[in-house]
Amino acid sequence: MREAVSDLVQVDGLKMYFPVYSGVLRRHSGDIKAVDDVSFTIRAGETLGLVGESGCGKSTLGRALLRLYEPTAGRVVIDGEDVALLRTEALRKKRPTMQMVFQDPQASLNPRMSLSSIIGEPLVEHTALSTAQRQERIYELMDQVGLNRRFANRFPHEFSGGQRQRIGIARALALNPKFIVCDEPIAALDVSIQAQVVNLLEDLQDKLGLTYLFISHDLSMVRHIADRVAVMYLGRIVELSPRDDLYARPLHPYAEALLSAVNEPDPVRARTRQRILLKGDLPSPANPPKGCNFCTRCPKVFARCLSEKPSLFQVEGGRQVACHLYDPAKPSAGSTGGFPHPKHLQQGVSE
């Protein structure tokens, strides 16, 4: 039970399907399974990194958690309440605890609103502060994110990308949230500005005890900021591991390929390392493979992968992997014949 108390976010069997209608009668002919049966928890004060390639459903997952979409199925318990079930008014009351920082600070800030009205809007909506109190809170938030108070009446276009992202962060912080979904917050920024924003997010977490879901495709930045990392592929989590374990020895073949593809800023390593080149592209989430979602591109695919979807298996050290190679009930060595134990496979490919 102690575990349950310290988990701020518990996601259980979350599904987010977008229906596809076709034909003259616009009949419901299928679903885009953007998020398909995803379960995980985030401890209070922790940063969970969520990585994956575009189209894998990581942003959809982030939005479904905050109920910016209506989830198709599953439970999303945030701070003791199932957000997926809340009625309109209760949900509105819940909103202050869960906030979001968006990728594109240009698109997520209203160009016709001044900085203080952008940051102040959630305060108007959710609190009963007087005008003076509100202005004081706005200044306080601006100080927290490192924006000069003199800028309060300026408009978004007068700021640089990094500063705009600070405005977005100040707005997310306005109502003292516990949980913030950061959806690619640094992807649109220059390298030298990215570090500034990431450091700010970390400082705020230390000071305010925030819990983050940090969505990114930048594996090296996730290694820096996250405590644990979930790797997504085609709507499903394929591996969820503590950060150091994942980067030292990825278990899932996709996680392994993804890490091997990261470009390291070191020409000597770049010349010597062994990349696992994945063939082909991501299959369509409207028509995922029958077995494991990764079976069409997996270098270690075997018969069972083509027919059966692996569930998330618990393996050593609190790691979870959705891969038949790690099924504790049916060790793959026996069932495949041709494949040695996963440990050996691991050594054979990573260099």
Partner 1 sequence: MSDGAAPVLDVRGLTTVFHTRQGEIHAVSAVSFGLKRGEVLGVVGESGSGKSVTMMSLVGLLPTPPAEVRAGQVMLGTRDLLQMTPQDLSAVRGAKVGFVFQDPMTSLNPVFTVENQICEPLLRHMGLTKPQARARAVELLEMVGIPDAAKRVKYYPHQFSGGMRQRVMIAIALACEPDLLIADEPTTALDVTIQAQIIDLMKDLQKKLGMAIIWITHDLGVIAGIADRVMVMYGGQVVEHAPVDQIFHNPQHPYTRALLRTIPTITGQREARLSVIEGQPPIMTAPPTACPFGARCAHTFDRCDAENPQRRAVDGQAVGHGHDVACHWSAEARHA
221 binds partner 1 (CB under 8 A): yes
328 binds partner 1 (CB under 8 A): no
**Cβ closest to partner 1, residue 12 vs residue 227:** 227
Q: Give 168's Cβ-side CA count (13 Å radius).
A: 28
Contact with partner 1 (CB under 8 A) among 41, 47, 103, 194:
194
Q: What six digits make up the tokens of 269?
A: 């390593």
Residues in region 230-249 near partner 1 by CB under 8 A: 244, 247
Of the candidates 230, 146, 221, the one whose C-alpha atom is nearest the C-alpha of residue 184 is 221
Q: Report how many residues bind partner 1 under the rule CB under 8 A.
A: 41
Residues in region 138-167 near partner 1 by CB under 8 A: 160, 162
Which residue has 């997310």 as its token pair? 172
In angstroms, rounded to a whole number, what is the distance separating the alpha carbons of residues 321 and 158? 46
Rounded-to-10 torsion of CA 252, 249, 260, 200: 100
CA distances for 53 relative to 1, 40, 306, angstroms: 35, 19, 22
Contact with partner 1 (CB under 8 A) among 3, 24, 132, 267:
267
Beta-carbon neighbour count of residue 221 at 10 Å?
19
274 binds partner 1 (CB under 8 A): no
259 binds partner 1 (CB under 8 A): yes
**Cβ closest to partner 1, residue 51 vs residue 77:** 51
277 binds partner 1 (CB under 8 A): yes
* Strand pairing class (313-315; 319-321): antiparallel
Please choose, out of 65-73, 106-114, 185-193, 321-329, the segment that lies near partner 1 by the rule CB under 8 A: 185-193
For residues 234 and 56, is the Cβ–Cβ distance under 8 A?
Answer: yes
Helix (H, G, I), strand (E, B) or coil at 3: helix
Contact with partner 1 (CB under 8 A) among 82, 143, 264, 351:
264
349 binds partner 1 (CB under 8 A): no
What would the x/- binding string for partner 1 be over residues 20 to 59, using CB under 8 A?
---------------------------------xx-----
The least CB distance from residue 194 to partner 1, in Å, is: 7
Residues in region 60-99 near partner 1 by CB under 8 A: none
Please choose, out of 76-84, 90-98, 255-263, 333-341, the segment that lies near partner 1 by the rule CB under 8 A: 255-263
The phi and psi torsions of 297 (rounded to 5 degrees) equal -120, 0
CA distances for 179 relative to 2, 22, 184, 212, angstroms: 20, 38, 16, 6
In angstroms, rounded to a whole number, what is the distance separating the alpha carbons of residues 313 and 308? 14
**Cβ closest to partner 1, residue 42 vs residue 282:** 282
Of the candidates 145, 140, 148, the one whose C-alpha atom is nearest the C-alpha of residue 204 is 145
Contact with partner 1 (CB under 8 A) among 94, 137, 224, 249:
224
In the complex, the residues that contact partner 1 under the rule CB under 8 A are 53-54, 160, 162, 190-196, 198-199, 202, 217, 219-221, 223-224, 244, 247, 257-270, 275, 277-278, 281-282
